[in-house]
Structure 1
Amino acid sequence: MHDHSGHAHHHGDDHGGDARRIAWALALTVGFMGAEVVAGFVSGSLTLLADAGHMLTDAAALGMALTAMRVSTRPSDKRRSFGYHRLPVLAALVNGLALFAIVGWIAFEAAQRFLAPVPVLAGPMLIVAVLGLLSNIAAFAILRSGSRDDLNMRGAAAHVVGDLLGSIAAIAAALVILATGWTPIDPLLSVLVALLVLRSAWAVIRRAAHILLEGTPEGFDAGQIRDAVAVAHPDVHDVHHVHVWSLTPERSLATLHVRVRGDASPGPVLRAVTRMLGDRFGLHHATVQIETENCPEGADCAEPSGTPLRPA
């Protein structure tokens, strides 16, 4: 006997609000990116060009995040029984990997600038950097007000944080050049920003990969779930094959086998187990297979030890 316990999901409104936030951040990013590219070439500032490079990939990342968020609301079909909920997680992974590529490009360009310094027009660089900082602060504030558990939003915000740090570094570099004329500060600060961005990118990649590899969600322990199910109803004799994973960061799923005593009625056990999983662990979508003490022929019902959780 199986039970696919579910509940009504109310993520549509949240996703709709988050999608609007990403759209606004995308508009701000694209609107300022062109000016920063031009200013970077005119002033000769690698920090500005690095920040413009961030903005270019941010525009792509935000566009990907927006598309993924909208597509994820599509209903399930014959080929994808869980629908498209994983698409935002995949988009977050791609965005994190894109940040790694940007960091590599910045490091290469910085090395070239150290070997062959170029003149930098600090005045235009400072003006554009200040305007860029204001734009990035506005974009970050918009994204920050969204869901903090949504990995796709976190990936998009990581890109914008990289831009924000890049603008701060560009302002600092411009001020140093105006005061001292020391142009190596520009590539030096661009590398510092790249390292900070790398840290955020790695956090997003690691969590997205964990979800895509069906890792156990944070805060869940299969052993604790097994022990809790064992005492959920007096007729539970053994619990095994407990698996917990995430469909998305906000939605965890579980499957488990529960063996009951031979004369037990499966219905009350099933209801007790599913209710406990939802109330105690927040597992509102659990597939519970009820088995009798007499294991079906050819089935692997026992734990490796073959020892029941309680004596019969």
Structure 2
Amino acid sequence: MRPIDFRSDTVTKPTPAMRRAMAEAEVGDDVYGEDPTVNRLEERVAERLGLEAALFVPSGTQANQIAMGLHCRPGDEVITELGSHIVQYEGGALSALWGIQPQGLPGAHGLLTPEQVAAAVRSENIHAPRSKLLSLENTHNRGGGTVWPLERFRAVVEVARKAGLAVHLDGARLFNAQVATGTPASSWAKLTDTTSVCFSKGLGAPVGSALAGSKALIQEARRLRKRLGGGMRQAGLLAAGALHALEHHVERLAEDHAHARRLAAGLSELPGVKVEAARVETNILLVEFARPSGEMASRLNALGVLVNAFGPYTIRLVCHMDVSAADVEESLARIRRAVES
């Protein structure tokens, strides 16, 4: 039985065309700024996001953490949503690397309101940390792939600006938001000081993310990347995969979104299964089963449907370029067997 992997959109394999691009990449020493493929990728990312400059880094976590180090100092506070990636999935790096305290606010499917952010900003007080940064996530992973509506995003950012906060956007799946709404990624990114994007999720590259911002911020980001061990020398081999993904795999994200909607529609017909099909905006869906999620994940994995438990009764499924329409239908049949057995 061939496994169908819904654990994450990070599990994709490079396409033959991507492998060729990587094998044929022109390279140099990127730490010296001499890798032409890395330089070209960084230029394209900055252009796509409407920001001055960009920096290629090994991972989304490193991109986000470099941003944290740019905007905050030990004892400062970052305001973010409680389920955000920087809080839940980056190994405690906020405190371990930078001495930053997170203030996590409970969002509606990962989204905050201007009122929440305004109330969270600290007044100057020797007993409290300084509020220095607002960090948002688009699309929001734990929210179920939620897209930030642009005007709501703008309103939240305006509150942060009035309070003197810098703004970072974790845009690991920002191109999913672009494709889902028709709104250019730059529309969100230009409202921020820094924005990160990931190439190794829905875009299907094997490695890599980028951090974009002003020329001055990105120059300092190079120092922090070096400090974190992210100087990769002849990195054009990896950047070529990311560049191919950026140029060829953005619009096809619509297929992943369609597959997620089909999964949601099919799952909503199964007994004891709860899924808000109308809330599936991009490639992620959260599904509640009658059985505990650990038991349900084991049942599904045994049937070749690979998933992750995401809560006491919730399973996360993520569609990506290695899941076809036929795979979706086969998965629905296997999930039905697991539910009804």
Structures share a fold, TM > 0.5? no
- Write 1 or 2 for the structure with the bigger share of strand: 2
User: TM-score, normalising length from structure 2?
Assistant: 0.20
Bigger Cα Rg = 1
User: TM-score, normalising length from structure 1?
Assistant: 0.21
